[in-house]
Amino acid sequence: MSLFERRSSRSFGGRVQHASRMIAISFALLGAVSPLRAGDYPDRPIQIVVPFTAGGNTDTIARVIADQMQNSLKQPVIVVDKPGAGTNIGAEYVATSDPDGYRLLLNAPASFVVNQFIFDSLGYDPDTAFTPVCLPARVPNVLVVHPSLGVKTIQQLIDKIKANPGMIQYATAGIGTTSHLSGALFAEMAGLDTTAVPYKGTSQSVTDLVAGRVGFTIDNLGPILPFIESGQLIALGVSTKDPVDILPNVPPINTVLKGYELSPWNALVAPAKTPDNIIHLIGRECDRIVHLPDVAEKIKALGSDPVGGTPEELADFLKAERPRWEAAIKAAKIPKQ
């Protein structure tokens, strides 16, 4: 018998009392509106919604997972990109979907622990709208500087900025992005007089950094790694608690600023009230997939770390992350939109 099959009696025998017959009809009607009425899950295509444009880290990780998942679940798994409004469009699209396991969300911290502190109102409650499924990847941010600054350590950068108050700016991928919050928290904890310069995405901010128009940034490792390898930018520190495999000689920022830790991640969630059996099925698949050697290597090639884990572990992780990001938002002094 398959995992989610529901059995019903086909016969009531000879003489059945009227009350019993009505109860049986009621249960049949309940089955008719159940999202699992057609037998096994899944029995049709599944969507993984990504609230960013195609081609970025989150979109790429979603497609890697989808390719593997559709092989094991025997149904198409389609990645749907729904960017806009600081990821709120895609998040609300999933939050208001039927809780039947056919529409999932893969997102960065924005929808879960950031936007509630930036926007006056959301079309969903991030604390109650989703059911955690799995944490496919964690994304280290890296602190990089332009070589013209003449610094090679985190402390040297701090000393340089303090010696030139207000003169050295840092690039961000936009207001409220993880690079903005990472830089703001760094500046506050180090007591620096520096200004965030917002761009329309990491590609533009890094272009200006490489050109020497701004002094430093703390942004996703993946898109910055080629510039580190070419020597166009110098990596001083990573935002994770521990060093990352791809940059083993680059120390965590917290070796200088005790307690500094702010790393983006990609969480897979479903609409609230999605049945537990579906949540755990998808969760097991996600955990299995990200630990496949070839998948893990693809995730690492993006500058990310494969994580996985259970729905319960993701729920605990999100609770722990909320105060961390809230502190960074307060440091950034972002007015509510």
Q: What pLDDT does residue 337 have?
A: 77
Same fold, 46-139+265-332 and 141-255: yes
Dihedral angle of Cα 144, 148, 151, 157, to the nearest 10 degrees: -60
Q: In this model, does residue 9 exceed pLDDT 80?
A: no
* The predicted structure's pLDDT at residue 285: 97
Are residues 142 and 169 in contact, defined by beta-carbon separation less than 8 angstroms? no
Band of the pLDDT at 67, cuts 50, 70, 90? very high
The stretch 56-60 carries a mean pLDDT of: 89
Among 2-6, 88-92, 97-101, name the one with the lowest average pLDDT: 2-6
CA dist., res. 54 & res. 214, Å (int): 27
Helix then strand then coil, in percent of the chain rounded to 5, is 45, 15, 40
More confident of the two residues 26 and 51: 51
297: its two tokens = 């290597």
Shortest CA distance to 175 belongs to which of 202, 199, 195?
Answer: 199
Confidence band (pLDDT; 50, 70, 90) for 40? confident
Q: Scanning the structure block, which residue is given the tokens 């094991």?
A: 72
190-205 burial code (b ≥16 CB/10 A, e <16): bebebebbebebbeeb
The model's pLDDT over 128-150, given as tens digits with 9 standing for 90+, comes to 999 999 999 999 999 999 999 99
Burial class (CB in 10 A: 0-12, 13-18, 19+), 161: buried
Q: Which residues contact 70 (CB under 8 A, 6 or more apart)?
A: 46, 76, 77
Determine the Cα–Cα distance for residues 286 and 98; give it in Å rounded to an integer: 21
Question: What is the fold, at CATH topology level, of the domain defined by 46-139+265-332?
Answer: D-Maltodextrin-Binding Protein; domain 2 (3.40.190)
Ramachandran angles phi, psi of 184, nearest 5°: -65, -40
Percent of the chain's residues with pLDDT above 90: 76
33 or 192: which carries more pLDDT confidence?
Answer: 192
Of the candidates 289, 282, 281, the one whose C-alpha atom is nearest the C-alpha of residue 306 is 289
Sorting pLDDT into bands at 50, 70 and 90, what band is 31? Answer: very low
Low-confidence winner among 26-30, 153-157, 223-227, 327-331 (lowest mean pLDDT): 26-30
Both tokens of residue 219? 């942004």
Residue at token pair 């009607």: 29
User: Token pair for residue 63?
Assistant: 């497609």
Least confident of 62-66, 145-149, 243-247, 296-300: 243-247
Whole-model pTM over 0.75: yes
Alpha helices for the chain (secondary structure H): 18-33, 57-73, 88-95, 109, 154-163, 178-190, 202-210, 221-229, 276-290, 293-301, 311-332
Q: Which residue has the higher pLDDT, 12 or 63?
A: 63
List, for residues 153-192, the tens digit of each pLDDT value: 999 999 999 999 999 999 999 888 999 999 999 999 999 9
- Main-chain phi, psi angles of 79, to 5 degrees: -90, 125
Which residues face 46 on adjacent strands? 77
Q: In this predicted model, what pLDDT tens digit does every residue of 275-315 receive, in sequence order? A: 999 999 999 999 999 999 999 999 999 889 999 999 999 99
| Chain mean pLDDT for the chain | 88
pLDDT for res 200: 87
Residue 192: the pLDDT is 97
Give me the pLDDT at residue 53, please: 85
Q: Which pLDDT value is given to residue 56?
A: 83
Averaged over 232-260, what is the pLDDT? 95
- Arithmetic mean of pLDDT, 245-271: 95
DSSP type of residue 115: G
**Cis link prior to 35 (omega < 30° from 0)?**
no
Instruction: Compute the chain's Rg from CA coordinates.
Output: 24
Q: Is residue 32 scored above 80 in pLDDT?
A: no
| Domain definitions of the chain by residue range | 46-139+265-332, 141-255
CATH superfamily of 141-255: Periplasmic binding protein-like II (3.40.190.10)
